[in-house]
Every structure is written in C-alpha cells, then in structure tokens.
Structure 1
C-alpha cells in the first residue's frame, strides 16, 4: 500500500491510499471487489469534559450517507460519508468520507457500492436491511451490493437512516483484476502471480452552513473529494487508463498521476550576519517555474518573513517583513504591484545583476536593520503564484519553513587593525538574561569584537584560570553552549562567541569581577599573537 498527502491549503483534507493486490496462490481469482469500512465515530473529544456526568466521547450520535453527485468531468463522486447528528454545538461540524478514485481497471468498467450497519449488531428492528456481514460469503456479497434506500419517517430525504447510532459505513467497488474475462469487460480475473490495484481517498470537509445534511452542506466535502480525484487522475483526464492525445503534458509517454497545482519552488537563499543587521539574499530560480497542471509560468512575487522577535505580533511564529510582486497589468488585482526594484541587485550602471556567494549567484537582497545582537532570529523567503481563478484556486506559496535560516546577529570578525577592544555583553550580567532558559546551563554571555581566530582566557581577580575558549569563525556553531541548538545550523557574525558561565572544572561561576584576555590566533593576520584585555561583572 502507498499513501499520498499534500500540505497545500486546498489539498490538506484528504489522503490517497493506493492498494496493490497480488495473487500469491496457484488459483485464478475472479471478480475482486475491494472496500474500506470505517467506525469513524465523528465527534470532538473536547466538546464536554470526561470528568463530568454524561460528558466525554459519544459514538451513538452519528449518521451516514452516500453522495452520488456528478463532478465537472461527468463522473459520479460516490462518496460514502459519516457526520455527527447535531455537530456537538459547533465542535464537530465536519464530514469524513471514503470514495474510490480508480485502479487498474478503467473507470467505465467498475461500479461503486455503499453499505452501513450498527456496531455489534447483525440486525436491528428499525432497519432490518442494514446488517453486519458475519461470514466471508456475506462480506463478499455486501462488497458488490448496496443497502436499500428507504422512505418515510425513519429515513433522510436521500433514503438513509435518520436515527443516530454507532453506525459504521463502507464504500466498495469492483470488479477488479488484471485481465478481462468478458468481451464487454464486465468480468475480470487475477491469475497467479498477477497484480491489480485499487485507489481510495479518505476525505474530510467542514459543513458548509448549518441545518440538516444536504448537498449544499456537503459542498466542502465534494470540493475536497474533487481535488483528491484530480490528484489521482493526473494526466488521465477522462479516467480510461490510456494516455490519449493531448493528455501527455510532459511528453514522456507515461501517465503521470498524483500531481496537483504547485507553488513556485522555494527560492535559494542565504544570509549575511552583522552587528545589528542581517542581509538576506535569494536567487530567481522560482520565476521560470512551469505549473504541472496549467503548464503556465504563473510566478507572481516574493515574501520575506522574519522571526516574531524582529517586530510585529508576538504570538505569531513568523512576521511578514516585506512583499514584492510583478507590476504586470494583466494581473494587477494580485499583490501590491510593487515591482522588484527595491530588492533587485544592480551593477554600477543600475542594471539588474547578481552577486556570487559561495559559488551561487543571487539576484535579490533585503536588509533587516536594528536587529538585537545576541538574539536568535530566523528568516525565510517564499515565492507565490497568481492562483487560478477559473479553477477556484487561491494563490499558492512555497513553504515558509523550507529555507529558514537561523542567525545570531553580532559584530563581524575584527580586521587586521583590530581597532576596538574585545568586550562582553550583557555587562554586568544580572542573574539571568531574557534570551536564556531556566536551567543553570542555559545561561549565556557573549564575547564580541574578536578576531576570526582567537583564544579567550578568563580569570578571577586573584588570577585563577576559570576557562579557556577557542574561537574559530569558520567552524563556530555554538556547539559548546546548551542554549544554542547546533542542529538548526545557526549563522554567526564571526566576531562573537558565547559562554555558558561554566568553568573548565564544570562548575557554575560565582558572583564577582572577572578579567579576560583575547589572543589573536590568526596566523595570516598581521596582528597574530596580539593580546588584548578587558573585564566583566557577574551578579547572581
């Protein structure tokens, strides 16, 4: 079995399950029917407290139904679904559904069936036709037949039970196999060693409006089921398992499935970290992207995101710092039509250009100033498209997490003249800095104005050696500090190094005045071996 899921906003309400059925026996299997049954029990565990009388989870207030409406391609959706009777006062106003998307047998040659029954009961007074299958024979019969639809006070307008209970439901389809046994393809077989496949979708959807279950209230369920179907169909628009003329979008001679409209690719990005400043660079790799469905270059613009600590809403993980998009008059209603001049890298003649950093060329830059040194920040750049109004598809944006870069702003490594003396911040250190955790090993101060390579030696006033720190701009990743997560691969400015106030004997330092020296260890520097001194205070 293979499963497929997407994190796009329009496609995050379904999962596709592709089952491969292989005949491992020595006998030919005729007319395979496949189905998924679910005891979904739609509810919300937070609706009522489990510690109050009558509170907690209730699986006896569900109803089932079957949506056989026709989609825009002219095929029946055939979604078996379940929902909570009253929506738990707004806490469980949603559907869960199961439908069949396709398989090794082309769509015209298999049918879909729907069944429902009550848990632990093979029969019941109100609905004698809704029985739980107890034998393999009964199960096979039920897989290729549907429950009878009724009329009257005990049934919904669509013919299914309207008395809530612990209902189960099943969506099934068939026949399936690898070879047809009838000239009209109404029968199929699976010889020994052969395989066939059946593809299901588990679909969810919020109620569209309130009131009783109805086609209008199932609008979101239908929309999500249609996206699942489009994802499975891929290039096979008419669902006949044949690559017909005009369907081979990428011209590879193979039906490509499990494809959906995609946002532009994540921009290649890097950052340069300085003293209270971060410069973000990215290239234009997203601009020539061709959407796999529309086959159009639909790139529209970029968004620059920063950590909540930069500025803005403290409750949000990211803050939108800037947005830039095309000025194309044909899509003037999308974005702000700013153009890219504000971030475009140019040459001395003002023409669009690029800058090379670590063997990669970048075409845009954004400068974030007044960023507090010593604080963990992070940045990302996303690319977004113009959407597809004809398909009722909103603009799609690349993931804000995909190229996130963590940074600690601070002073650059000292140059050959090393004009400024090294120092420590915060100084004095008063018990706990805001950027720290609560553990004794999560405290942190910063040494700044360091050469690219340096040895820091810390002493008490009595001259006792407290600790020795080796600094190397090229390799420093904060690995010696518990408060810095080296797995995030943070970027540093090069001229700063953190210390966790733990001595070389693995003890926490005491309150007092401390002296330190910094020796330039860069053999290529004209100041190699130069030593500078300074001091700091710790108050606990």
Structure 2
C-alpha cells in the first residue's frame, strides 16, 4: 500500500512538469503503473512435497516479508525454507531517444537489496496484467482452487479468460482451465498468469510506435507453474515463460535469464552453502557445508536447472545439434514429424472424446480434420505440433552462468546485469558462502509485433532431494517430463471428502468423482481405488514413512485402503526405485469409513486419495486395461494438500483433505435414527405401488440433516426396459420448493442445485408477477441446474428474476441391489434393495410365503369370512412355490395369492375339479380361476396337491405360479444315553437307556379357516413411491439436566502434567508454545468459571457450540493473559435452565 501511495503522490507532483516537457507518455505510464501495481496478487504452489509462495509479477518466494513460506520442503509443520527468491530476468540492447546505447532489464524481484527500486517507491519491474484471476480476491489462479463461495467456479479463476474468452462450459457458464495444451489441467497442480514490462520507464526508450505509453521493451510474458504428486516427481516444480514482443522494435540482442537465491539450511544458516555445476546432468546443485540446518538437523539437497532455453529460428544454425536447422514453433511445419493423426487430431481446445469437460467437436473445425492445427494469436496448438512440442525449438542452451556471494548480483544495475550475462561468462562458484546465481541465454533475435516469430519460450526447474543421489534421480524425472512436453503420469481426480467428528470416532465419507471424471489421456479409464491417510500434523509427516531401496522416504502409509474387485491386488509389478505400491486386497470400493482409534480432543488430518492401476504388459490381456501395448508405468496417487500459515494454522483444505477433532456431544444430545421400511411401523412409507424391496436411510452427517424435510423416492423401470441391459433407476426428490433470485443473461446462469424437477419450475418477474414461458422467454437445463434468457423473449439480460423449483439430490441411480454407492445428500445415506420377481423367502414371517399364523391369520379370516380359532393348530404342510411352465413358456406375474380353505366344496377349478378352497389375488383383491391337480382324496386340499392360479392374457388363461403341498411324515427322535455302575462284587456294568426327547409333530391337515400365503417378491416399478421425513438431532433439556448428565462434565487431562498429547506442534523458535485442557460433556450453552482454591477468579469461558460438540478448550492463560501457576483449581459450570456442576483439576509441573 505504501508503494501505491508513493506512486500516486509522485504522479500528482510531477504531472504538470512532465506534460510541459513533452513527457505525456511518462505521465501515462505512471498512472498505469499504480493501477497495475494494484493488480498484484499472490499464490501458493503446494501440489506435491514442495510448497512455495509466489507473486504474479514474476517473483518466486519473498525473502523480505514471507521467508517462512518460500521454498518450504517438505511442506507442513516439519518443513524448512530452501530459497529466498527466484525471478526471471529479461533484457535487450537498445538505442534510446537520445541515441544512447542502453541495456534494459526487467525482473520480478521483490527482496530488499536485490530489486530494481524507484527512488520514489515501487520498482522498475514486471507488473501483472489484469483479468487473469478473479478481481475481488487476493490470489493468483490455481488449477485446483477451491470453490468456497459455491458459485460453481473455482474462486481464484476469472469468469472469462482475457486470452481465451470462448473457453467455458456453455451449459453452465463455468470457465475451463486455461491450459497451455488445451482447456484442461495437465499436471496435478498448475498456475497461470500474465505480466509485462510496460511500466519500466527507467530509461528514455519508447519500444512501440503504435502505443507510446508502453515503456520497458514492450514484452508480455505468460507464466505457468507445474507440480506433480507422483512419487517420482513430488520433489520438483517447473516454471515456463512464453515471452511475446508486442512492440514495433526488432531486438537483435535479447537476453533471457533467471536469478536465484537458494539458502540450504533455512534462514540464519545460509552462509555456509556449497554448490557445484554438474554438466552431465546440466544442473546446479547446492548443499549445506556442515550438513546442519538452522534447526540442527540435516538439510536436503537443492538443485535448479535451466530446463528449456529460448530458440533462435533465424540464425541459420542447428543450435541444439538435433539435425534440424532453425526449427520453429511458429513456421506451420511439424519439424520433427511426431504429430499423430490418430492420437493428436483433437482440435485446438485439446479436449478429446472421453476427457473431462469434452463439449463435442471443436466449432472451428480443427478436430478430426486430418492435419495439425495451431492458433498463433491464442498461443495454442494440437499435441506434438508448434508451441505444444518442445522439440520444435532450436534451443541455444545455457550461454552464461554467474555465481556470487550475496549481494554480488543485484537487479538495480542494468549494465552490471548485462555484463554478467555476456555469452561465455561462466564464473567460478564460491564455496561456503551465501550463494546467489544468474544464468542466461544470449544473444538471439526477437522480431516485432506481427512477425510469426515474435515469441520465445524458456523454462526452469527447481528440484530437491534427501541426498545427492536422490536429487539426481529427481532430475532425471524432470528431464522425462520435459521430453514428454510437460506430460507425466496423471493420477485420478480427487474425491470430495467430508469428516464427521463424534465421540471417540471420526467418520469420513466421499463422492465418486474420482471414478466418474477420471480418464488419463494415455492410459484411459484407469481408476483403481482409494487410500486413506491420517496424521496429527497438516503435512502428513507421520504417514510419510515408506522408503525406497535407497532408504529415501517416498510414500505415505495408508491407514485404510479400498480397491476394485479385479485381478489387480498386492504389490504392483512395476516398481519405483525398488518400491512396489500395494494395490489393495480386492476389498471392493467403499465411500464411508469410520476411524475408531482416535482420542477425544486431538486434532486429526485425513486425506482420501484416489489411485490408478499403473500399467504392465499383460494388463490388456488380463482385462485390467482397455488399451493394449502401452508403456509400463508405476501407479499414480492423487495429491493431498493442506495450506498452513507461518504459525502452522490451517488456512485452506483441499477437497480431499479434512480436519477433525473428535469429542463427545453436548449434554442431552439425541441422535437421529435410521429410517426404514422394515420396522413394524415403517418410518419410510410406501405410498404407492406393490414393490416388495426395502429401503433404509441412515444419518451419516447429523449436523447437515435438514429437520422435518419431506422426501419422495421415485422409481423408473421403463427408460431402459427394452435396452440390451434393462435395469431400474430410482431418484430422491426433495419436496421443499426452493426459491432463488438471479440476474438473467443469454449465457447460462448456474442455480443452487442440479437435477431440477421440470413440473415444479416456475419463473417470474418479481416486479410485475409475470410468469415467464419456458422455451420462449428462457431455456432451462434441468440436469446441470442452469437457466438462460432467450434472445427476443420477455426475459431481459441484466434484470433480476425469481425461480422456484424442486430438485433431486439423488437422480437416476442404478444402485438398487443394496450397494452403498448412492450419492450422499443432506447428511443422509440411502440404500435401496430391489427384489426379483420370485417366490418370497426374503421378507418377514408376516409377509413371506407360508401358512398365516397369529394376527396375520386373524386379519385374513376377517377379510375372507372364515372361522378363526386362536387356540387351534394351523396346517403345517410345506408349500413349494415355483414358476408354472407350460410348453416351455413362463408367465410370472407380480401378484400375491391367498389360498383360503373351507369346510366343504365351494367351487370348481378351471380344470373342472371340485375344491374346498378359493384362490384370491391378494394384490388386487379379486378371486381368480385356478388349476387344481388333485391327488387324493378328491375335492379336498391334501398332500401332493398342486394349485396353479391363472391370469387372463389376451383372452387366454395362462398359469402363473404353482404351489405343491407336502405333508410332514410322523416320526420320533430318539436319544440313547449310556451310563456305568459297579455291583457289590466290584464288577462294572454298562446300561443303555432309550428315551424319547423330541417329536416332529404329525401332519396337521388343512381345515376351514387356514390361509396359505402364496407370496411373491416384486421388483420396484414406475408406480412405486415412498416418502420419508428427516429428523435432525436435538437437545433434550430434561436429559441434559439430569444428575447423570451433569456428573459426566469433566476436565481432561486431569491432572495436566507439563503437556497434553493433543497439543499442536510447537512452531516457534522460542517460548513454550500453546497449551490447553478440555472441558468435556458440557451442555450446548454454558459459562465456565475457573477459580483458585482461595476463590480468586482466574478465567471465564463462554461455551456456545453446535450440539454435537460438548467440549471447550482453555489455553491455561488467565483473564489477564498470563500463564497460570501450578496447583489445584476449581471450576464452576453454569447452564441456565439445565443446571450446574462444580469440580476441580490440577496442573502439575
């Protein structure tokens, strides 16, 4: 802010003098300078084990203000800073307006003592271009940014990219990622911004004849950062810089370079670093001379490499000695001939069928046209062509390298920088000092705006390793990534995870986006499973314990793992440095897991990480992969990311990471119960249809349950009835009508929910009450939940309208066989079990096939007006039910039948046999015709008789089911017992007794009043509907105020001895750090007062928490902010309307 004010003040003081002296361009530049400075934003790359702060004006790290966030490795509470700052340095030789030869450089340095500062404040440096990040927030666009405001767009992304305005989803208006290789994310984490040097007005040089307000060299730089979470690439970051000459000046002596200040051993230990330039691996690496960092432990090795140098396609030389002279990324030629029409003809958006967000063929016709395409204005090309192919650049290589003790290299002397970057200048590296470096490529030509060769690219890589050998292995991976055009093994998408903390347990649940959205661009659909990691620190250092063959830690040990049911289990056949990833044990996929090995009060961090199958030569033949003949590769696991501040406090969680503190709920807490169709009084009501399956709705996340909300469960058995794979779908409809006001636009506007229920949608103009007409005034996309105004209709862009609707939180689910795979909604989990059309042996005794007894028989007797005697024995014939088959034709029907026995002949069967029973369709209530295969005696239902109910189909009666009756055979069960006895002569004797101990009852024949239930399980159909009402947890005040509840209030630990296990890791260099005790089992609202034994009030705590958390922490500081003394303390808990509790605790030194 001070810099901005200085710039504004300087402008106000000098504006008139500059205008009078013809310096209007300088005046404009100053105004723009202050504006551009206000566009400065920050970001954090932490997609693997390296975490670093960076800025959108070129600086990587910040030695002056944010050192503890710069180059942290490994990320998390146990990490340390390994560099102060890196920045690109770009310059050229020019002749200014006075005819003087000048060397103008711009950079992004922000550290004091290095940056090229203005005398009046600010810098002669790069400044960011606006529009490449959301304006109303402070962060640079990151590919995996969170959507905290729930508008559908990652919070740091702009709604429209200035250079790719058409890259958005037309159905929702949500932008795609602005990737170098297309509208998708290539690495696990990427960042993108643009900057220019237009405000570097240090010298009297005007680079552009078109726009005289542009200063510096008129250069615009597109900056991208890449990180991968794969174990082979988790210790490196790659940065690329695309430099465009937007001026009218043809520069013949350009310099691209990079300044770096690495400090191995962290701040305070940077003066004893050694370094070496390994020419074989083309890497500079640095290490601590005494192998002892500022914290006392051994530091890692740090390396940096000029990964890609700018090419010169205009000098007539084969600069990179690859056999190609002046290959170019802007000549329209596939110089190295590696563009593949089968794999690479994907169009300029880079999206191929099956990829996430694929919108269909490119509207510009570039997809599938049989030739490689590139757009030099947008700066995009198809794979392996032009700017998407690293090998199509005639790279000059590294031409200078300067090493000096800090502050031997500074950016505020352009002439000094020019001399340090003269080609051939390779200085000796000083040892055991605070080292800084400047490495560069020079000289080359950069043509002006309008020339196809006015762009150049260079890239650098920062890499760390536990030791020298580990560093070199990581450097080789870095080279592989570059050779593959920054493509590397891509893990599955991350699942979205939620944690529910309970009493001595933590439950995790997650969605299926990792399975549904994952398609590797090379290996296809290769998702395999989930690993769960747990730690008490945000960096997951506790789980990072698995080492490779060299003893280097490279992977985390999961606490739980769930994988697909396939032939891939155990150690993967392809290893990484002697380590083979465990692929699981064919547990089957799950989406919830409860950790019961936790301690109340302790903070836990969890990550649910998806992993893929990797690849081996036989994976296609084994049916593991859908693609043959791919390169074998180790599996990839998605990243886990938790951002912390300098105090170690968590400031951001990724979608697959969570923080949880288990605790007992508040006193009087009443948990919600499972809703079911199976209980005597079903809490899920079957309001329509005859399906016999069952449904359970389980509370998974109680605090998200919306109290007293009614839901409807609907089924659909017709949509896929005639397909090759007929199946039933079900949906859950939230009956509550949602209302939302929105500002109309012809581009789709996202609503709050997806899967809208079309009959419920009403759109009004709230000002007039006029109802808008679908298809005339607006279009609605029910599935994506978006609405757009129709041009020419009554709905006007920019005007506020109101929409009301209902929606499906679960839509068209195919999981009806008891799978726990349905989407979770409103804190609930639903399981549906459909039944086949078959004889009923699955349900309760009241409904399954057999003779009615008890209350069921009484109800049937009343219905059919037959005698009922509660004391008599009911028929015990077995009834075997099967499908009736006639001429090979089966006609099963979804009907139950009741066979009602009378004491005389009451009808004749369809085959003219007299019968002492009637058959009723229990589903419809009608009596039905039947076939009676009578054995003996005639006309009476007896042993071996068969009954076949009939149904009229097309005027013909057909058999449906049949039941054959079997009478039990009378028998005895004998138990033979043996005992011994001794007579008076001492001779032993054996006696065997035969005793009747049980009897299988004799046959009880059917008699008047007996009713056989020919029960059929019936699948759900479109006519079935269920309803249920959700119930949120609540506090029972009577229960909370009971003596037993109040007596549970306690302090833990008690006594407190020096420290507690759940206290966070101490991150300060001095002082004791945070201490705390917990009061537990508290009412939801109460006041806690803490006294000394003499009655002095030490502290007062106000507890007001959610009802699922009955704990309150105290940091052992008095009301005056002082640490308390050791001793015994009294506490008093007062909960108005509930009760109070007095107790004591001790603090022991």
Report the TM-score, using the length of structure 2 for normalisation. Answer: 0.29
Aligned to 1:500: 1115
Matches within 5 A, 1:139-158: none
Q: Residue deviations 1:87-143, cap 9 Å, x none?
A: x9x9989894543587444563863345757979xxxxxxxxxxxxx9x9xx99x7x
Aligned to 1:413: 666
| Aligned mates of 1:50, 1:464 — CA distance in 2 | 51
Equivalent in 228, 232, 240 of residue 17 of structure 1: 240
* 1:99 maps onto 2:308 in alignment: yes
Query: Does the 8 Å contact 1:3/1:17 carry over to 2?
Result: yes
Which residues of structure 2 form unaligned runs of 5+? 1-220, 292-299, 311-327, 336-391, 404-415, 430-436, 546-555, 573-581, 617-629, 642-653, 669-1035
Cα offset, 1:174, TM superposition: 7.2
| Aligned mates of 2:1124, 2:473 — CA distance in 1 | 65
Cα offset, 1:272, TM superposition: 1.8
Cα offset, 1:496, TM superposition: 0.8
Aligned to 2:481: 227
Which residues of structure 1 form unaligned runs of 5+? 68-80, 121-133, 148-162, 178-188, 211-217, 233-258, 345-363, 476-492, 522-527
| Aligned mates of 2:1090, 2:520 — CA distance in 1 | 60
Equivalent in 395, 401, 415 of residue 112 of structure 1: 395
Equivalent in 322, 338, 343 of residue 585 of structure 2: 338
Query: Does the 8 Å contact 2:1089/2:1132 carry over to 1?
Result: yes
| Aligned mates of 2:1093, 2:439 — CA distance in 1 | 78
The 3 A distance-change label for structure 1 pair 316 and 23 is closer
Cα offset, 1:538, TM superposition: 3.4
Cα offset, 1:497, TM superposition: 0.6
Cα offset, 1:293, TM superposition: 1.8
* 1:404 maps onto 2:657 in alignment: yes
Query: Does the 8 Å contact 1:112/1:174 carry over to 2?
Result: no
The 3 A distance-change label for structure 1 pair 469 and 224 is closer
Larger Rg: 2
| Aligned mates of 2:260, 2:544 — CA distance in 1 | 33
Aligned to 1:320: 558
SS in 1 for 2:481: helix
The 3 A distance-change label for structure 1 pair 195 and 518 is farther
| Aligned mates of 2:557, 2:302 — CA distance in 1 | 31
| Aligned mates of 2:457, 2:1100 — CA distance in 1 | 63
Aligned to 2:1105: 473
| Aligned mates of 1:429, 1:39 — CA distance in 2 | 52
Aligned to 1:304: 532
The 3 A distance-change label for structure 1 pair 315 and 386 is closer
Query: Does the 8 Å contact 2:224/2:240 carry over to 1?
Result: yes
The 3 A distance-change label for structure 1 pair 289 and 174 is farther
Aligned to 2:605: 378
The 3 A distance-change label for structure 1 pair 283 and 397 is same
Q: Residue deviations 1:162-205, cap 9 Å, x none?
A: x996699866797765xxxxxxxxxxx6449x983222233588
Query: Does the 8 Å contact 1:264/1:397 carry over to 2?
Result: yes
Q: Residue deviations 1:355-384, cap 9 Å, x none?
A: xxxxxxxxx222222322222222221111
Cα offset, 1:290, TM superposition: 2.8
Aligned to 2:1082: 450
The 3 A distance-change label for structure 1 pair 413 and 4 is same
Aligned to 2:196: none
| Aligned mates of 1:539, 1:222 — CA distance in 2 | 55
| Aligned mates of 2:610, 2:1104 — CA distance in 1 | 35
| Aligned mates of 1:329, 1:303 — CA distance in 2 | 18
CA root-mean-square deviation: 5.2
SS in 1 for 2:614: coil
Cα offset, 1:224, TM superposition: 3.1
| Aligned mates of 2:1073, 2:1098 — CA distance in 1 | 16
Aligned length: 393
Matches within 5 A, 1:93-242: 96-100=305-309, 103-106=329-332, 108=335, 111-114=394-397, 116=399, 177=447, 190-191=449-450, 196-202=454-460, 224-231=478-485
Q: Which moved more, 1:277-286 or 1:398-407?
A: 398-407
The 3 A distance-change label for structure 1 pair 219 and 57 is closer
Query: Does the 8 Å contact 1:14/1:201 carry over to 2?
Result: no
SS in 2 for 1:287: helix
Aligned to 2:732: none
| Aligned mates of 1:174, 1:99 — CA distance in 2 | 15
| Aligned mates of 1:411, 1:302 — CA distance in 2 | 29
Aligned to 1:537: 1146
Query: Does the 8 Å contact 1:117/1:169 carry over to 2?
Result: yes
Query: Does the 8 Å contact 1:97/1:204 carry over to 2?
Result: no
The 3 A distance-change label for structure 1 pair 41 and 62 is farther
| Aligned mates of 1:328, 1:104 — CA distance in 2 | 47
Per chain length, whose mean CA-contact separation is higher, i.e. which structure has more relative contact order (CA < 8 Å, sep 6+)? 1
| Aligned mates of 2:259, 2:541 — CA distance in 1 | 42
The 3 A distance-change label for structure 1 pair 35 and 99 is farther
The 3 A distance-change label for structure 1 pair 374 and 516 is same
Cα offset, 1:494, TM superposition: 0.3
Aligned to 2:724: none
Query: Does the 8 Å contact 2:605/2:658 carry over to 1?
Result: yes
Query: Does the 8 Å contact 2:535/2:543 carry over to 1?
Result: no
Query: Does the 8 Å contact 2:309/2:398 carry over to 1?
Result: no
The 3 A distance-change label for structure 1 pair 173 and 314 is same
Cα offset, 1:273, TM superposition: 1.7
| Aligned mates of 2:557, 2:1122 — CA distance in 1 | 39
